[in-house]
Structure formats: structure tokens, C-alpha cells
Amino acid sequence: MSEISGQVVIVTGASSGIGAATAERLAAAGAKVMLAARREDRLRELVDRIRAAGGEASYCVTDVSQQTATQRLAAATLEAHGRIDVLVNDAGVMSISPLSALRVEDWDRMIDINLKGVLYAMAAVLPVMQKQNSGHLINVASTLAHVPRGGAAVYCATKAAVLSISEAFRQEIGPDIRTTVISPGAVTSELHAGVADPGLRATLAEAYQDALSGTTVAEAILYALLQPAGVGINEIVLRPTTQGA
């Protein structure tokens, strides 16, 4: 048992990667997890796996780029558990390419999911946390929020925005609701699988040879959640030791 035991946690982007690993790790620590993503088959499989291991989990199919969907997610969580203690904002896409490729639809998609999706989910849970006088927001950014790279300008910008929003929100909200940004480097996931540019795809494949596991990032998230009241872990940056920046 742990201090997170019994807490109600929403995890977006829970169908794979960091989100799925985080859901499993927090459920193993005793949290009641609500899984959110677009792929219902993946969510159902993960719920079954968590329950088979003795954890408590449910899911709500959610496209975070739609504000009404995040509102339904919060409502479903309240209906199931009566409260919302933690939001892990992990949903994201990495459709990177040089700006000169003019893949405007990819830019829109990253902004809609990586940035607006974070804001929509925050907006959906914040009134609940304010009423409770407690809560913890975990927003997943990236080391690329700190060190932008050519070929990934819009992705870097969305993650830098998440970092800025999280810090400004921390200053606004007061002591009862904590805010943590997790900025991982290369992590084994599906995030870069859809990269269209062959040169960038090859560069990423090389960079991801020593990638962290999603479980490693999940442990960092759990560490932030387990701090005693009055202690805020505002950001954790973690990367493979072989990653230069």
C-alpha cells in the first residue's frame, strides 16, 4: 500500500507507451485508474490486464482534441468514483517534418492534441479539484521543450507551451493543487512511428536505440505523486544517459 492507494487517477494517452505503463504502475500502487484514449480495443485489453493483476481500472474512449470528449471523461470519472485526485496528461502525437514541407494538417493535429488537448483536460478536471481543495496535475512534455531541434519545430513548440502553461498554472492555482511537468527524452513508444520524412525517421531510429522504457517514466510520475503535502515536484527531466540533449 502507498499514499496513492485509493486515489482516483485519469490517464490520457493510456492505450500505449508512457500512458499505458503509468496506468499499470499506479494501479499496482493502489490507485483507481480511469483510462482515456481513442482506441477502445487497447483500453479494454489494458483494463483486463490491470484487473487480472488485482488493480482497479475502467476506461472512457476519449479524443482529447475535442473539449466535449474531455468533459465526458471527467463526468464518467465522477460517476464511477465520486472524485478526481490526479490527471496525467499524456496524450500526444509526433508528426514531425521540416517546416518547408508545409505539412499544415500535421501542424494542426499536433496543436490540437499536444496543446489544446492538455488544456481541455485541465479545464475538465480543474473545477472538481477546486471543489475538493486538492488535486495533482501531471503534464507530459519533452526534453524538446527545452532544446528545440530542426525538423520538429511545431512538436517542440507544443511541448514548450505545455511547460509554460504548467509553470504559469502552478503560480496561479495556490498550494492545494500541485502541478508537475514530466519531460522525458527518448522513450520506447509509438510516438514517432508515423513520421513521414524518411531522413527524420532514420535519425529518430538511431536516437531511440537506447530509449527509456515507459515504465521508467511511470516511476518518475509515481515519485512526484508520492511526495508529502506541501512539497511540489514541479518538473522532472529524464533521458537516456547516451542522449546528448
- 197 has pLDDT over 80: no
Specify if 2 maps to a domain. no
Query: For the segment 44-87, what is each residue's pLDDT rounded down to a tens digit?
Result: 999 999 999 999 999 999 999 999 999 999 999 999 999 999 99
Specify if 220 maps to a domain. yes
CATH of the domain at 212: 3.40.50.720
- The reply to whether the predicted model has a pTM over 0.75 is yes
Specify if 183 maps to a domain. yes
Specify if 172 maps to a domain. yes
Order of strands across the sheet that contains 177-184: 56-61, 32-37, 8-12, 86-89, 135-140, 177-184, 235-238
Q: What is the reported pLDDT for 193?
A: 63
Query: For the segment 109-154, what is each residue's pLDDT rounded down to a tens digit?
Result: 999 999 999 999 999 999 999 999 999 999 999 999 999 999 899 9
Specify if 3 maps to a domain. no
Q: What is the reported pLDDT for 1?
A: 35
Specify if 243 maps to a domain. no
**Domain range holding 206?**
8-238
2 pLDDT tier (thresholds 50, 70, 90): low
Q: Point out the residues that are catalytic.
A: 155
Lowest mean pLDDT among 127-136, 161-170, 203-212, 216-225: 203-212
Name the domain count of the chain. 1
Specify if 20 maps to a domain. yes
